[in-house]
Amino acid sequence: MITITSRPWGEPCDYAHAVLGSFADVALLFSALRTSYSGASSLLAWDVLDVIEAHNAHDAWAWLHDFSQHPPEEAGTWIGYLSYEAGYASPPPTKATCPAFPIMRFVRYRFMCRFDHVTQSIFSDDASWESLMHCAEKPRAPTPMPCPLPHATMMPPDAYLDHVRDAQEHIAAGSFYQVNLTRKESGQWHEPLTPLHAWALFTRLCARSPAPYSAFISHKDSYILSSSPELFVELDAHGHISSRPIKGTLGREHASEDLHRSEKNRAENLMIVDLVRHDLAQVARVGSVKVPELYSVDSFRTVHHLSSQITAQQHPDATLATILRALFPAGSMTGAPKRAAMRWIAEHEGVQRGVYSGALGWITPREAMLNVVIRTLIATSQYYEYQIGGGIVMDSDPHDEYTETCIKARGLERMLYGD
């Protein structure tokens, strides 16, 4: 029986930096921004015990199904991600741009600490605390800022505008009501990226674009640096399910009230709320699906977002795997109806999204907290990419939609190139 004990407080990022001096494979799920609904805790894990990778959707869901059947005390907590393409029944007809990232990867670590930002306490077992203190006693390794070469777009502005207009033609024809169109930017590093290089970038990202569902994952020459503001799903030990989709954005140069009053943004948000309600109803007790918050404005460093909260109580027959399968991928990243929107996305975006717009976080067989992978840099020692997009509806202005993607990219660009 492992005993978890409360320890004296220390900042998660300080300890993560210390651990990176001794371990290359480290994960930090970091609440970089406190909000009324999240940001209460962070999770730091290091020293890999087990790794599960899947290279196709069938294998990913098969593992999640098996994992859901295990006793939580035996399975433990795993940290990782599920890529967007896991949401397709068959492989999409597009190619991956970063093969270093399989369609799913979850890792179980030997050591783990939970940071409670409310009580200013750290919770860990004795072995994890001993390892953490050993790492903290060493001098901090330097964190040089890497130098990215200029990035290139995989979808030029004119092509993005054309795709917006094409989407609107499909909306007019009744193919779907809304679709999420994204574009990918990619580049290379001047010198090979190391874990400490990646950490330097992540700390800059948190300073310039703090978010409640941030994440840093370093694993065998692959890196995920996320400042996601969006919750995909939270499942607690009592079977309470919560999702908080974001749909509706304005730059911080506008007043938050402008976003709250926007009929276009409200309509976008409501479409996705209805989609999530429908998805949750498949795995929820009858009558338990609720919308306790509708059209809430959340203000971040560079943007205002319109979000809503949908909750439900887990059906007795539902498992972690069936809940994820019902909700995945996030409706805010597809559009509605989901399958029709995803078919259009596969035909028009040209490349696989990969980790972007998938889900990332921690899972046990009975509980989970996963973000929507947006505002995220995906990298290897040689290569980096990020992706931005937005929801297209009938009354979208193509130029405004493209401008919105530029606004969403600000935090990542400031991380890469400075202010």
Unique residue bearing structure tokens 């009580």: 119
Report if residue 388 sits inside a domain. yes
Report if residue 72 sits inside a domain. yes
Report if residue 379 sits inside a domain. yes
Is the backbone peptide bond immediately before 337 cis, with ω within 30 degrees of 0? yes
Where b means 16+ CB within 10 Å and e means fewer, 209-243 reads bbbbbbbbbbbeebbbbbbbbbbbbbbeeebebbb
| Active-site residue (options: 184, 247, 338, 408) | 247
* Catalytic site includes residue 138: no
| Active-site residue (options: 85, 185, 230, 404) | 230
Whole-structure pTM over 0.85, yes or no? yes
Closest CA to 359 of 62, 98, 101, 81: 81
Q: Is there a contact between 264 and 294 (Cβ–Cβ < 8 Å)?
A: no
How many domains does the structure of the chain reveal?
A: 1
Report if residue 146 sits inside a domain. no
Report if residue 142 sits inside a domain. no
Rg (CA), the chain: 20
Distance, in Å, from the CA atom of 191 to the CA atom of 186, rounded to the nearest integer, reads 16
Report if residue 149 sits inside a domain. no
* Catalytic site includes residue 401: no
pLDDT of the chain along its 419 residues, tens only? 688 999 999 999 999 999 999 999 999 999 988 887 887 999 999 999 999 999 999 999 999 999 999 999 899 999 999 999 999 987 777 788 888 899 999 999 999 999 999 999 999 999 999 999 999 999 988 888 999 998 999 999 999 999 999 999 999 999 999 999 999 999 999 999 999 999 999 999 999 999 999 999 999 999 999 999 999 999 999 999 999 999 999 989 999 999 999 999 999 999 999 999 999 999 999 999 999 999 999 999 889 999 999 999 999 999 999 999 999 999 999 999 999 999 999 999 999 999 999 999 999 999 999 999 999 999 999 999 999 999 999 999 999 999 999 999 999 999 999 87
- In terms of residue numbers, what domain contains 402? 5-137+154-417
In this structure, what are the phi and psi dihedrals at residue 127, rounded to the nearest 5 degrees? -65, -40
Report if residue 69 sits inside a domain. yes
| pLDDT digit string, tens, across residues 299-351 | 998 899 999 999 999 999 999 999 999 999 999 999 999 999 999 999 999 99
| pLDDT digit string, tens, across residues 19-61 | 999 999 999 999 988 887 887 999 999 999 999 999 999 999 9
Distance, in Å, from the CA atom of 215 to the CA atom of 227, rounded to the nearest integer, reads 7
Report if residue 256 sits inside a domain. yes
CATH of the domain at 36: 3.60.120.10
